[in-house]
Amino acid sequence: MSASGLLFCSGQIPLDPESGELVLGSAGVQARRCLQNLEAVCGAAGARLADAVRCTVYLTNMADFAEVNEVYAEFFPTAPPARAAVEVAGLPKGVDVEIDAIVALEA
């Protein structure tokens, strides 16, 4: 959904878009798939994930933060967007990571 020059991307879990299957593995592996899915959502809307202004990372175990942060840095190597990381009791389909984003649209 977009409003006022912003694209609001729903939280993405590590689902492979081709197979519809979960991408299991470490929290870092899951985070990479979440971010790749967000890139695809942005692309479909004519935007770029690199233009994100805010992301929220949901983790079932905050001990995974460092690993997820390394992957996050691959997608945002310079000037990363504001971010919140939140530990939650559970996520859809039992995954360990979910990430959402708010992205600035080009004027």
Encoding tokens for residue 42? Answer: 């942005």
> Cβ–Cβ contacts within 10 Å for residue 60, how many?
17
CA 60, CA 74: separation in Å to the nearest integer?
21
**pLDDT tens column, 13-68:** 999 999 999 999 999 999 999 999 999 999 999 999 999 999 999 999 999 999 99
* Domain architecture of the chain: domains with CATH: 2-104 (3.30.1330.40)
Does the pTM surpass 0.85? The reply is yes
Strand duo 82-87 + 52-59: pairing:
parallel
